[in-house]
Amino acid sequence: MNIFRLAGDMTHLISVLVLLLKIYATKSCSGISLKTQELYAIVFVTRYLDLFTDFISLYNTVMKLVFIGSSLAIVWCMRYHRVVRRSYDRELDTFRYWILLGVSFILALVLHEKFTLQEVFWAFSIYLEAVAILPQLVLLQRSGNVDNLAGQYVFFLGAYRAFYILNWIYRYLTEQRFTRWISCVSGLVQTALYADFFYYYFISWKNNAKLQLPA
């Protein structure tokens, strides 16, 4: 464990807590893409198949349970909570995410570390996570200026993977045989997708204006 990875995990945890806070406090999920939340639930379930077979550390197990639990709780809330579900932007959240699922799965069948069920699903979850934010970015684009909690959620989510890239560089420099090409390349693509959002987020923060994304 290094400081970059810890910062990344904490930032990731903050992004989930910000989202849960927004939904719980305001009983509203306007501006949040259910499709992105469902993709994240699939990412965590398919990535943590080793939850009960591999014990790495208490921290690792607890964080896995938190990520799986919170992502499923958010999806449940947005789908079935009688108050929250009314504020879901159903007509704006129309990203055809089956494409993302299909492409990620096919890519995982071709590119993986070992051809075992667990490794193919692990690679699938890595590829899927890189593109899972797309429905949310499209929704932010369509709904124009975002309310700041939705913007903060995306900001922390992007920052977490940027910290992980620093972690991979650090591990590559300090551990001889550290190679995680699948994670590194996918993580770079993921962070790049946030780049334009970060730009507009910084501009709005600098001008102390509401976040305006070009339609």
The footprint of other proteins (CB under 8 A) covers: 5, 9, 12, 50, 53-57, 60, 63-64, 67, 113-114, 118-119, 122, 164, 167, 180, 183
* Encoded tokens for 119: 């490794």
Gap between the Cα atoms of 33 and 37, Å rounded: 7
CB of 63 to other proteins, least distance (A): 5
Give the nearer residue to other proteins in terms of CB position, either 30 or 61. Answer: 61
Give the nearer residue to other proteins in terms of CB position, either 67 or 88. Answer: 67
CB of 104 to other proteins, least distance (A): 17
CB of 75 to other proteins, least distance (A): 19
Give the nearer residue to other proteins in terms of CB position, either 49 or 149. Answer: 49
CB of 67 to other proteins, least distance (A): 7
Give the nearer residue to other proteins in terms of CB position, either 89 or 119. Answer: 119
Residue in the block written with tokens 């071709």: 110
Give the nearer residue to other proteins in terms of CB position, either 67 or 201. Answer: 67
CB of 122 to other proteins, least distance (A): 6
Find the distance separating the first CA and the last CA of the chain, reported in whole Å: 41
CB of 142 to other proteins, least distance (A): 31
Residue in the block written with tokens 């929250």: 84
Give the nearer residue to other proteins in terms of CB position, either 55 or 76. Answer: 55
Gap between the Cα atoms of 104 and 83, Å rounded: 34
